[in-house]
Amino acid sequence: MPKYALLAAAIAGLSVTTVHAQEKVLNLYSSRHYQTDEALFSGFEKATGIKINYIQAGEDALLERLKSEGANSPADVFITVDASRLAKADELGLFAPVKSKQLEDRIPAHLRTGEWFSFSQRARVIVYNPRSVKAADVQSYEQLADPKLKGQVCVRSGSHPYNLSLGAALIAHDGEAKTEAWARGLVANFARAPKGGDTDQIKAVAAGECGVALANSYYVARLMRSDKAEDLKVAESIAVVWPNQQSWGTHINVSGGGMLKHAPNKESAVKLLEYLASDAAQVYFADGNNEWPTVPTVKVSNPALDKLGAFKADTLPIGQTSKGSATAQKIFDRAGWR
């Protein structure tokens, strides 16, 4: 091949390499499984010109992948649901600190840690059957351990992150000893062994299998907004309490995420986190799963949430809540809540 041809080939190769090097990309690992997230991330690509390479899997699989990839990981941002799962990623040293005035200004201090940020909120509510349980007897989480509810309580596994985060909040507010006594009282009140998810607990209450259950608020809202007659019947058969309105408020959990320590595209990672705190993204992030925004000025129009009404939320710092989940697991294990 003539020398000029070799040179042309080399220049062509260099040009392609340069284009690829300059292409703006972001590699996202997410354990969220909501269809509305596709529109959410599409909006980011259109607004910024940054292409998202999106990997979706369960949080345990993604955390294992991040650990095995180590410093060679291509991932820039990790997003998941539940504070205890975010805390686990933090404890593994996967997140990098993020300094962003936009995130600090928009997301309340108790819903961010500096390493990860909350983008939507869900409440842990008490669902009860008004035909068999009095509303006055289920106004707080603590009351679920009262012997008068013996044989009435349905709940999912004590090892599930939703319950561990609630346990961590109880530890923070009531102390370890009282939380363990509460857990033992709760177990003594079980109508059946823990099984299924939150929707299963709600349906069991509606069917009269038990009188009261714990569930995340968005599961109730989903049933209320369903186009299936059987779901609407379930929603009409139960009542909902915002727990602890006379004390520390209803326990809140979150969806959130952060920039990863070995992120190769750090600038793009921060831009995505800031985008998730924007008005448009907050509406997608929250209303798509019947939740609430974390940015207090953003309003979501959701008939189910409107019907459930306003409530006082616990403002315990989310980082403190998440870090108590390991202690909550030990307490629940000793109490027999498995």
Per the annotation, where are the binding residues for Fe cation? Answer: 33, 218-219
**80-108: burial string, b at 16+ Cβ within 10 Å, e else:** bbbbbbbbbbbeeebbbebebeebeebbe
Binding residues: 33, 218-219
Q: Distance between CA 168 and CA 87 in Å, rounded?
A: 12
Residues 6+ apart with CB under 8 A from 317: 109, 110, 113
Q: Which residue is associated with the tokens 């980011």?
A: 44
Q: 153-154 and 25-30: which strand pairing? A: unpaired
Residues 6+ apart with CB under 8 A from 281: 40, 43, 44, 119, 275
> For 140, phi and psi rounded to 5 degrees?
-145, 160
